[in-house]
Amino acid sequence: MTDLSCTAAAVPPQVPPAPPIPHRKEIRAWLAPIAARSTAYALWLSLLDITLFALALWAAVAAAHPVLQVLAGIGAGLVIARLFILGHDACHQSFTPHRGLNRWLGRLLFLPSLTPYSLWEVGHNVVHHGYTNLKGFDFVWEPLTLAEFRALPRWRQGLERVYRSGWAPWLYYLVEVWWVRMVFPGKRHMPTRRAVFTRDGLLVSAAAALWAGGLAAAALATGQAVAWVLLVGFVLPFLVWNVMVGFVLYAHHTHTSIEWHADKASWSAAQPFVSTTVHLTFRSFVGAALHHIMEHTAHHVDMSVPLYRLRQAQRLLEARLPGRIVVQRFSLRWYFDTARRCKLYDLQARCWTDFDGRPTSPPATG
């Protein structure tokens, strides 16, 4: 006689499928009460960070010891990142309730990072947010397939290895985003030609000239070498800024649980506004120091939520969509393990691979 109890016990219980993620419109309705914008608070944040930037540049010139000057230059680079995040919100029209004021503030706040407002608006708001992790559309840390990688010339394969090493997200941003797409881009990367692109490029160029010229004048006035003051007051802050933005963009969209999609149908079905970003958490004040931009899922779900309300919005999403949002505690061990695993992407199996095409993450299901 068959032991039915043993047979039943040997069959693993079926796990019911997770309910579908609600439509983006429904999720955004949850966030609507949180999305109120404040002109006074936005102006206060802008004034605070502009003041911090001015003080850091002053210290880079006037500090009594070269080590202090270097530290001030690093501090200036960190403040550039904060200013850029404020400008990023203004460019999304989520900083203040006033569209004209947002455009004016955005251009001003983008100047220290030498970012042309209108070009960033197209590349980031339209392309990156409109098609996040859709292969062939979203260019931000878009992974190559094995076939694409093997088709590259040797020097370009080597550059890709450097970009994906974990040590060079700054170089990726400096070359592939800023230099190629922000500094008077050619038709290949910006087929649309608009007068405002040129005007914003000239505005950023004038700001860079004024910044460098002011430092040179300050160096002569204080009896210092012009090259040294330009290094600590211009080159170093700009490089530190690139380190910050490169890391943030990489960490937001590179993870073994984050998928890329080959076609619009599968991309749309995956609710990419929820599933293609990482909420990176920290044990210290880093999140607040970066104006809560690391609460990135909430930002991609609803760009109208201002940065000063993103923390609240992220908590709400994670409470209502348990287990559906990628939340990652930051550690160097996790970061370099991710860099080791996430080299190329297999669009058929929907998994990450190394540079030889060997899978390094589980294939996607569903």
What does the DSSP assignment read for 60-110? Answer: HHH-SSHHHHHHHHHHHHHHHHHHHHHHHHHHTT-SSS-HHHHHHHHHHHH
pLDDT tens-digit profile of 233-281?
A: 999 999 999 999 999 999 998 999 988 999 888 888 777 778 788 999 9
* End-to-end alpha carbon distance in the chain: 40
Residue 17, helix vs strand vs coil = coil
Q: What angle (nearest 5°) sits at the alpha carbon of residue 159, between those of residues 156 and 160?
A: 90
Query: Which residues, other chains included, contact 294 with Cβ-Cβ below 8 Å and sequence gap of 6+?
Result: 248, 251, 252, 279, 280, 281, 282, 286, 287
Q: Which band of pLDDT confidence, cut at 50, 70 and 90, is reported for residue 9?
A: very low
The confidence score (pLDDT) of residue 365 equals 64
Q: How far apart are CA 252 and CA 277, in angstroms?
A: 5
The confidence score (pLDDT) of residue 272 equals 76
pLDDT tens-digit profile of 21-65?
A: 778 788 888 888 888 999 999 999 999 999 999 999 999 999 989
Measure Cα distances from 152 to 14, 26, 147, 310, 358 in Å. 46, 43, 9, 40, 19
Highest mean pLDDT among 78-82, 119-123, 321-325: 78-82
Residue 142 DSSP code: P
Q: Helices (H), strands (E): how many in the chain?
A: 19, 4
Residue 279 DSSP code: E
